Structure 1
Amino acid sequence: MTTPLRRSLGVPDAVVIGLGAMVGAGIFAALAPAAGAAGSAAGLLTALGVAAVVAYCNAMASARLAALYPESGGTYVYGRERLGPFWGYLAGWAFVVGKTASCAAMALTVGGYLWPERAHAVAVAAVVALTAVNYRGVQKSALLSRVIVAGVLAVLAAVVTVSFAGVPEGGPGLGGEVAAGGVLQAAGLLFFAFAGYARIATLGEEVRDPARTIPRAVPLALGIALVVYALVAVAVLLVLGPLALAHSPAPLADAVRAAGSSRLVPVVAAGAAVAALGSLLSLVLGVSRTTLAMARDGYLPAGLAAVHPRFRVPHRAELAVGAVVAVAAATADVRGAIGFSSFGVLVYYGIANASAWTLGRRHRPLAVLGLAGCGALAAALPLASVLAGAGVLAVGVVAYAVSRGRPAPPRP
């Protein structure tokens, strides 16, 4: 019999974990490359809206499915149950691979802000520390996420306030041409900053009353994140303009500096590091739970399905994920990891929307819009990211064809 995880998370904790995954390093890092792709302030804000619409469709699909299947694994479970074992496996593979790259990017962001000369070493240390926190139980992780989210929101509020107060007369404004291709690529890059709401769904086995909690928590977390992102994007654009933003390695720090508040630059840098820690914490939670689900079904080593008898967490899966992320953080490049991660996660949510389509006519309009949006954003990403992502997915398909997995064990 499979040992169940402990159900300890209510709506506030679930919202905080989702926010911890979204309102993180993405907003500190994704604005610059997205501005470069969009080409104008209007294009960037349009891209933010497009990314939000696709994220909303994905969020509603995930919430509805999670209420029906309150198990660890997220779309891995939904694809398996609604579309068949192969699609569940492909979703799980895309999620684990894509989010492992995302974990490495977040860890490297921590290192880059705290100690640039030793960024890789700091990144590995961050992975080890947060793996230890997760090992002690999801409730402790939720508590740490609440502290991190509060600190990051305070820093972002300071950036917005200072930037609006320091907008120069005759500044760049929010206009400009809007090119469809640039908007789609920018939206694909900005999607990286949104792709955290489903962390709530992947923790379905640890949520109290999932049929009520998950559908409330997912859109609430997404709505809060969208408001925060829109305020930050407008404030930074008004101070720096799209061209300076596109070339800035630290756009939020440059914004407060340009607004005449250089003393806040170290605070913003610290906030970015804390935000990356929050994202990393939630990401490792989600990847380890999907790893647990795939191990239960025989697609990954059976030992990874073990649940700690005291802490009731998938401790072996967490240790394995932590080890892989630590190796990636010691060797990876941040920008390449972001594009690769976005491709894998968009494939994952495409399968979520396809799964939601099977729930009935009432759910199909959003599911179709979400599926089309995921496909469009994935195809619009930089070519290197598309090719690398497609190659890794092909490896997963070959592995599935060779092994076919073990027969699913009886569930409790």
Structure 2
Amino acid sequence: MTALVRRLGVTDAVVVGLGAMLGAGVFSVFSPAAEAAGAGLLVGLLIAAVVAFCNATSSARLAALYPQSGGTYVYAHRRLGPFWGFQAGWSFVVGKTASCAAMALTFASYAAPGHTRLVGILAVVAVTALSYRGVQRSARVSLVIVVLTLATLAVVVVAALAGGTASTANLTGVEPGGVLQSAGLLFFAFAGYARIATLGEEVVDPRRTLPRAIPLALGLVLVVYLVVGVSALLAVGADGLAATAAPLRAVVEAGSFAALSPVVQVGAAFASLGALLALVLGVSRTTLAMARERELPPFLAAVDARHGVPYRAELAVAAVVIVLVATLDVRGAIGFSSFGVLTYYALTNASALRLAPHEGRPPRWVAVLGLVGCAVLAVTLPLPSILGGLAVALAGALTWAVRRNRGEKQVTAGRG
């Protein structure tokens, strides 16, 4: 069995996207962004949102035309060629695997600050076990997580604004040279809408569902991020956010609502676990698509007949995530993830530029701005993230070249 089941509508897809984006960034990403740009992270947030909008528009048009599991791996294959398709899939798998590690570490930073690596690894094991059993993020579960996340963020905003520490003086201290870097890091928080695009084989009427769900989910998340970001800066300033891996807990603990800190810990923990599950699902399905094309080991293409999940791909992803959790911190994982995801979306926009008008091509300026924006944000990330991302991209290119050369030799041998 290799086919997936279509069962998600527009509302379902929006909820999945909301859960992936809210949990994937809002509880962790303000810390490295504040370290890079100070209060200028708000400008970085808007820049990231513009780039994300362009990417979302290109993704929606392509996903409607190619409603298959795999996202830009499929689009770039069809529009740019096999090598770029492989690079898109490779970048997504690597970048989102790092996102999984970031979410596991975020969960542990809120739930068990003194034991982040051990608890993060246990979280990966637990989520993988649930996914392996077919316990996926259904629309109902996603809705519960989104409601819980929004309720937690409401507590943070109230505590920030009414806790006695809010001051407009905390909005000073902008680091202009770090604004673009903060935008690249904050982009990590928006990238959950890729989860919707990778549901191409699991949504009902994808030509109608995907173009509506992706931008709607993105717009709602932007509003939430702006409200939370401004409130957090007013309460503790950029230095307070940069000093911890659990910035929203620090916001609550700074004022007279410190007793509500456990509420934020629980909400952040659930949101992070929900995002981790969504990320595992997205990465494993791109891995499935690449394995189907024999660009990753074919045995990863197996889909469990009973539960309908690509269980081997999920187990492989979990193994890599555990290694990353044991070796990276949250900030390193976010930077590394951002480079891979920005590369992925650069190829998304390049693919959209190859669409004809009758195929639903987005406005050309949108795809061009998205492509250029992704490239600029990628090269302004912290140097270790850039070097690590380039090394992974090179490894992907070499892997593709070796597999292609091996395939050509097998064809030649067969003819002989």
SS in 2 for 1:29: coil
TM-superposition CA deviations, 1:140-194 (whole Å, max 9, x none)? 5443322222111110011112222235575415456562x31100101111111
Matching residue of 1:95: 92
Matching residue of 2:387: 387
Partners of 1:9 and 1:26 lie apart in 2 by 24
Q: Which amino acid aligns with 2:270?
A: V
Matching residue of 1:145: 142
For 1:65, which of 42, 62, 75 is the aligned residue? 62
**Aligned partners of 1:299 and 1:406 also within 8 Å:** no
Matched, 1:296 2:292: yes
**Aligned partners of 2:109 and 2:245 also within 8 Å:** no
Partners of 1:27 and 1:232 lie apart in 2 by 8
Tell me the percent identity: 63
Matching residue of 1:193: 189
How many residue pairs align between the two structures? 403
**Aligned partners of 1:239 and 1:255 also within 8 Å:** yes
* Unaligned stretches of 5+ residues in structure 2: 409-416
Matching residue of 1:121: 118
CA pair 91-138 structure 1, distance change in 2 beyond 3 A: farther
TM-superposition CA deviations, 1:192-241 (whole Å, max 9, x none)? 11111110001111111100111111111111110110000011111112
Matching residue of 2:127: 130
Matched, 1:238 2:254: no
Partners of 2:326 and 2:165 lie apart in 1 by 42
Shift of 1:138: 7.1
For 2:341, which of 318, 339, 345 is the aligned residue? 345
User: Mean alpha-carbon deviation: is it higher for 268-277 or for 289-298?
Assistant: 268-277
CA pair 25-139 structure 1, distance change in 2 beyond 3 A: closer
Matching residue of 1:410: none
- Alignment TM-score, normalising by the size of structure 1: 0.93
Matches within 5 A, 1:27-106: 27-39=26-38, 41=39, 43-106=40-103
TM-superposition CA deviations, 1:259-318 (whole Å, max 9, x none)? 310111111122221121121111101100000000010111111111222222222212
Matched, 1:209 2:219: no
Matched, 1:250 2:246: yes
Matches within 5 A, 1:310-349: 310-349=306-345
Partners of 1:250 and 1:140 lie apart in 2 by 25
SS in 1 for 2:169: coil
CA pair 210-247 structure 1, distance change in 2 beyond 3 A: same
**Aligned partners of 2:137 and 2:277 also within 8 Å:** no
Partners of 1:52 and 1:230 lie apart in 2 by 10
**Aligned partners of 1:25 and 1:273 also within 8 Å:** no
Partners of 1:253 and 1:378 lie apart in 2 by 29
**Aligned partners of 2:92 and 2:341 also within 8 Å:** yes
Shift of 1:319: 2.1
- Alignment TM-score, normalising by the size of structure 2: 0.92
* Unaligned stretches of 5+ residues in structure 1: 408-412
Task: Compute the RMSD of aligned alpha carbons.
Answer: 1.9
**Aligned partners of 1:63 and 1:201 also within 8 Å:** yes
**Aligned partners of 1:135 and 1:313 also within 8 Å:** yes
SS in 2 for 1:228: helix
CA pair 67-309 structure 1, distance change in 2 beyond 3 A: same
